A and B are shown apart, each in its own frame.
Chain A
Amino acid sequence: MSAGYVTGGRDRRRLTRHLRLGDRAYRRVLQGFGVFVLVIFVAVGATLFIQAWPAFKHSGPGFVTGTTWDPSHAIYGAVPFIAGTLFTSAIGLALAIPIGIGAAIFLAEYAPRRISGALGMLVELLAAVPSVVYGLWGFLVLGPIFQNTIEPRLSWLPFAHGAPLPVGLLLAGVILAVMVLPTIVAVTRDLANAVPATSREAVFGLGGTRWQMVRTAVLPAIRTGVVGAVVLGLGRALGETMAVTFVIGNTNAVPNSLIAPAQTMASLIANEFTEATEPFHASALLGIAVLLLVIAVIVNALARLLVWSVSREVRETV
Chain B
Amino acid sequence: MTGTPLKTFFAPDSRSTVAAEAEARPAPAITVRGLGVRFGSKLALSGVDMDFPTGRITALIGPSGCGKTTLLRSLNRLHDTTPGARVLGSVHLGDLDVYAPEINPTEIRARIGMVFQRPNPFPTLSIYDNVVSGLRLNGIRKKAILNDAAESALQSAALWDSVSHKLKTSAMRLSGGEQQRLCIARALAVEPDVLLMDEPTSALDPIATSRIETLLRALVKQVTIIIVTHNMQQAARVSDYCAFLMVEEDRVGHLVEEGLTLQIFSKPADPRTEEYVTGRIG
Taking Cβ atoms with an 8 Å cutoff, the residues of A that contact B are: 112-113, 198-210, 212, 216-217, 220-221, 314, 316-318
The reply to whether A318 and B123 form a contact with Cβ atoms under 8 Å apart is: yes
Is the CB of B56 closer than 8 A to any CB of chain A?
no
| A202 and B122 form a contact (CB under 8 A) | yes
Of all chain B residues, the one with the shortest Cβ separation from A200 is B81
| Contacts known (A199-B120, A201-B120, A202-B122); A208 close to B172, Cβ less than 8 A | no
B277: which A residues are within 8 A, CB to CB? Answer: none
Chain A contact residues, majority secondary structure: helix
| Distance between B157 CB and nearest chain A CB, rounded to angstroms | 15
Say yes or no: is B133 at the interface (Cβ < 8 Å to chain A): yes
Whether the Cβ atoms of A318 and B170 lie closer than 8 Å is yes
**Contact residues of B between 88 and 120, Cβ < 8 Å to A:** 106-111, 113-118, 120
Cβ–Cβ < 8 Å partners of B204 in chain A: none
What distance in Å separates the Cβ of B202 from its nearest Cβ neighbour in chain A? Answer: 13
Whether A221 lies near B123 (C-beta < 8 A) is yes
B76 contacts A by Cβ under 8 Å: yes
User: In the complex, which residue of chain A has the Cβ closest to the Cβ of B81?
Assistant: A204
- Return the chain A residue nearest B173 by Cβ: A317
Q: Quick one: CB contact mask for B160-183 with A, threshold 8 Å, 1 for yes? A: 000000000011100000000001
Count how many chain B residues have C-beta atoms less than 8 Å from C-beta atoms of the other chain. 33
Bound complex: CA A216 to CA B137 (Å): 9
Task: List CB contacts (< 8 Å) of B110-166 with chain A.
Answer: 110-111, 113-118, 120-125, 133-134, 137-138
Q: Give min CB distance, B212 to chain A, whole Å.
A: 17
Closest 6 CB pairs of A and B: A207-B110, A317-B170, A205-B114, A206-B134, A220-B124, A207-B109
CB contacts (< 8 Å) of B172 on chain A: these are: 317-318
* Apart from the given pairs A201-B78, A209-B106, 12 other A-B contacts in the complex at a CB distance below 8 Å: A113-B83, A198-B116, A198-B117, A198-B118, A203-B133, A203-B137, A205-B114, A205-B116, A206-B190, A317-B125, A317-B172, A318-B170
Could you give 20 example pairs across A and B, Cβ below 8 Å?
Answer: A198-B120, A199-B122, A201-B81, A203-B137, A205-B113, A205-B116, A207-B106, A207-B107, A207-B108, A208-B106, A208-B137, A209-B106, A209-B137, A216-B133, A217-B122, A220-B123, A221-B124, A316-B170, A317-B124, A317-B125
